[in-house]
Amino acid sequence: EISERLKTIALLIPKNSILADIGSDHAYLPIYALSKGIIRYAISGEVAEGPYQSALSNVNRYGLQEKISVRKGDGLTVIQPEDHVNCVVIAGMGGGLIENILKSGRKHLDGVQRLILQPNIHAYIVRKWLFENYWRITDEKIMEEDGHIYELLIAEKGNWDLPEEGREKQLFFGPFLLKEHSPIFQKKWEREKNEWINILNNLQHAKTADGIEQKRRKLATYLQWYEEV
């Protein structure tokens, strides 16, 4: 049985898709999406040997070699134009790594209609990249499983009309999540706020060093945003 997190992601994939799951690890997501009839073909991309082998053996075990192509390679480079991939999932990594994968492989995204991104942390970095590269967030989800809170971002090609006023705050909290203001959202940001306060308290005792004042200001800004929303 796969995690609720991966199931939720699978339900966001457009029906009949050709999927690329980047950083696929055990290939659980494409195997599940195929078995549920959500997709018709998948590329399972992995950069690391261990996870790549694990994806290969799972795909073989389910006899899905014809339907899932397991490929070893860095990020989006495993996607070729002749694959006609229309949906890309990048899940279970930090926002910085997701941004890096998007940035360095963006020419492989031609023809891709939907991105489903699940940064474990630093979703802001991912939203910022999307905004600056003409990918519009069309929906967001937030969920909790085993004490972890996960944010899911769905983006489609197109201009994203995000007024400059308040833009950073929207990118930080997520426009849809901010509007929805669900109990899990509130829980997440209360946790974060408590962490910022802790860090600020610790900084108070720290010897002055490069960057500390900058860090303090950043945390103060986050706290102010927290109060505002």
| Interacting residue ranges for ligand SAM, rule: CB under 6 A | 6, 22-25, 45-48, 51, 74-75, 91-93, 97, 101
SS3 17: strand
Backbone dihedral region of 110: left (phi > 0), alpha (psi from -120 to 50 degrees) or beta? beta
Q: How far is CA 181 from the centre of its chain?
A: 19
Nearest CB to ligand SAM, comparing residues 54 and 170: 54
Nearest CB to ligand SAM, comparing residues 93 and 171: 93
Minimum CB–partner distance for residue 221 and ligand SAM (Å): 30
How crowded is residue 215: how many other Cβ atoms within 10 Å of its Cβ? 14
Phi, psi of 74 (to 5 degrees): -85, 120
Q: Give which of 95, 108, 106, 182 is closest to 140, Cα–Cα.
A: 182
Nearest CB to ligand SAM, comparing residues 89 and 177: 89
Distance CA 33, CA 42 (A): 9
Minimum CB–partner distance for residue 91 and ligand SAM (Å): 3
Minimum CB–partner distance for residue 185 and ligand SAM (Å): 21
Between CA 67 and CA 119, with CA 43 as vertex, the angle to 5 degrees is 135
Nearest CB to ligand SAM, comparing residues 21 and 170: 21
Minimum CB–partner distance for residue 89 and ligand SAM (Å): 7
How crowded is residue 146: how many other Cβ atoms within 10 Å of its Cβ? 7
Nearest CB to ligand SAM, comparing residues 91 and 125: 91
Q: How far is CA 68 from the centre of its chain?
A: 22
Minimum CB–partner distance for residue 75 and ligand SAM (Å): 4
Distance CA 55, CA 59 (A): 6
Nearest CB to ligand SAM, comparing residues 103 and 218: 103
Minimum CB–partner distance for residue 152 and ligand SAM (Å): 11
